[in-house]
Amino acid sequence: MPLYIKRSIFLFLFINLCLFAYNQVIKGTILDNDTKNAIYSAAVYISGTSVGALSDKNGNFQLNISKYNSLPLTVSAIGYYSVTINDLTGGKPLLIYLNPKVFELNEVVVNAKSNPRKRRENLTIFRNEFLGRSGNVLNCEIINEDDIIFESSSDNNTLRAFASRPILIDNRALGYKITYYLDKFEYEKESKIFSFRGNIFFEEDSTTDKAKLQFFERKRRNAYLGSRMHFFRSLWINDLNENGFTVRNTANEILNYNRIVFKVNNTKYLSYYSDLSISYYSKQPTSFIILLKDKVFFDASGYFDASLIIWEGEMSRQRIADLLPYEYYPK
């Protein structure tokens, strides 16, 4: 084969490989696990971003994930439990089955009709713990609070919240419409210990008003600086000191990048044998990280595997009203 033909074939393959790397489109079909029927209008998205698509009447979808191809894909639909897919390297169309949500409400269910005062109390707790207590909450509203169901334990100490529909939030402080698929919310009144988890999708405010845009950027920048996203982005580029972060172990030793980052090719993990503390300049109290496994995946975007970390201290106070999509970078 002539040399120029070999070079042409190589160039063709190289170009196509580059196009695939920069234009990675995931395709698939979403079905009900019980009936095997197609699920229409299921949301397929990268949680924590505004990258998403909806399934059609046949349950089919396609989504360009080029920008976040190292992050898991989430599939959510009204009345179903969400599914997270971590391995997207196969190249074949995905076949995804969703399980219908079944709420086992075995204790005391509180609704507006039976006990409006108690429901108002529960909503206050939910807003405080779910949205947070920062100044952003004043401009943050849950649009569909009627879709939230509360269950109290028989001793009235544990409060749980459920929602068959996604929780819709209008964050007028940061300029985002948020769709949150709640999987769990639990709050213990005596100890004030709480936990919640779910998946989040952002839509940016489409305003072109310059004053509003400047207001959003000020608020977003304040929410970003010293946040968990800021920390992991700084850790990824090995620039903690420049960005104002100091990491210490339980012996109060300052730890550098090489002591807490485990790297495999271009994949990075936060890894250490004991708990860690994080300080951000002198503007904030200390934050603490408890690692639930010996290594926790994180990404250049600021994403980290939230299921493997318990946060305490300042960073644990950042809630839904303070969250930013991974597309955000300070101007």
Is the pLDDT at 190 greater than 80? The verdict is yes
Q: Which is nearest to 73 in space by CA: 39, 24, 40?
A: 24
Which residue reads 């807490």 in tokens? 260
Q: Which three-class secondary structure state does DSSP give residue 234? A: helix
User: Would you say 159 and 122 are in contact if contact means Cβ atoms under 8 Å apart?
Assistant: yes
**pTM tops 0.85, yes or no:** yes
Q: How confident is the model at residue 77 (pLDDT cuts 50, 70, 90)?
A: very high
CATH T-level fold of 3-98? Immunoglobulin-like (2.60.40)
Is the pLDDT at 107 greater than 70? The verdict is no
Tokens of 5: 């033909």
Q: Which three-class secondary structure state does DSSP give residue 180? A: strand
Percent share of the chain, pLDDT over 90: 73
Is the pLDDT at 48 greater than 50? The verdict is yes
Is the pLDDT at 15 greater than 70? The verdict is no
Give burial (CB, 10 Å; 0-12/13-18/19+) of 66: middle
- Average pLDDT score over residue span 187-192: 91
CA–CA separation, 111 vs 289, rounded Å?
37
Tokens of 320: 């839904």
pLDDT by residue (tens digit) across 246-294? 999 999 999 999 999 999 988 999 999 999 999 999 766 799 999 999 9
CA–CA separation, 224 vs 65, rounded Å?
24
CA–CA separation, 68 vs 298, rounded Å?
12
Tell me the residue type at 242.
E
Is the pLDDT at 145 greater than 80? The verdict is yes
- Average pLDDT score over residue span 57-73: 93
Q: Which stretch of 1-5, 158-162, 289-293 has the lowest confidence by average pLDDT?
A: 1-5
What residue segments make up the domains of the chain, in order of their start?
A: 3-98, 108-204, 214-322
Tell me the residue type at 106.
N
Alpha-carbon radius of gyration of the chain: 22
